Amino acid sequence: MKFPVFDLHCDTTLRPWRHGIEMWENDGHISFKRGLELPGYAQCFAFFMSFFKDEGPEKFEEAYAVFQAQLEKNKEVAVQCRTADEVQAALNQKKIAAVLTIEGAEALGCDPGRIDSAVEKGIRMVGLTWNFENALSGSCKTGNGLTDTGREFVRRAQEKHILIDTSHLSEKGFYDICDITAGPVMASHSNAAGVFPHERNLTDEQFKLICQTGGCAGINLYAAFLGEKDVTFETVYQHIDHFLQLGGENHIALGGDLDGCEELPQGFNHVDDYNALGEFLVQRGLPEQTVANIFYHNFAKVVAL
């Protein structure tokens, strides 16, 4: 049994821009050719500019232009999508749906005034920080919560139907967002701290709050966030099962972190290996509808809001 995939996070946009790779076929985790091996494939492609600090907006413009050129070059097989209807239309046409996101608001200069320009580019989700503290909030590495500018950024982004992503955010920042949120709270690529206590993973309380807001947590396939050693599909199942036990069946998604991590679970090498993971989860005892929800429908419902 194979399932359509809607993955909340990858770092693939850096590769055409910085290394000149082609999206159709390459040696990374994600290529359009491999994506077509899935029975349907929607991918959130994140723009990560936090290393560039003050140059973030300029570098974002460069990376965005390069990725748009790749989409144009491969327009027969891939298309940028902004809405759930556009995603479904792309899949109906056997095309890959590319949804654009930002990881680290340095790409927008941490400036609420740049949100409109992000909307014009079709950005659908923004993570306020990476591992650095910035003008909006502290990170999972630094602590500290939202600043006044961070609160304004969250409010203005949600007014424009941009989802707020809390992966990489500090716990204090996470709770600050939950206190003011007017929409679903996301953690695009974060696992269960109850299974593996890593600073990038979600506590039970955090996950429950994500569920209460109508958001999703995307299961991250970076082995370092799944377990200490011998990370397998069984390890991935344990994180999913933990969230399921917290009542999260409608709020678990995929957030593979592909092309942004060094080591994946044994047996997972490229995006088309989601086929093997889905089959494993069914064999492990998860109902097919549960797997279908995790792989696609849960996040598609959020995008539709």
- Cα–Cα dist 207/187, whole Å: 9
Name residue, tokens 């095309």: 95
CA distance 133 to 186: 19
Q: What is the pLDDT along the chain (305 residues), one digit of tens a residue?
A: 899 999 999 999 999 999 999 999 999 999 999 999 999 999 999 999 999 989 999 999 999 999 999 999 999 999 999 999 999 999 999 999 999 999 999 999 999 999 999 999 999 999 999 999 999 999 999 999 999 999 999 999 999 999 999 999 999 999 999 999 999 999 999 999 999 999 999 999 999 999 999 999 999 999 999 999 999 999 999 999 999 999 999 999 999 999 999 999 999 999 999 999 999 999 999 999 999 999 999 999 999 87
Beta bridge partners of 102: 47, 126
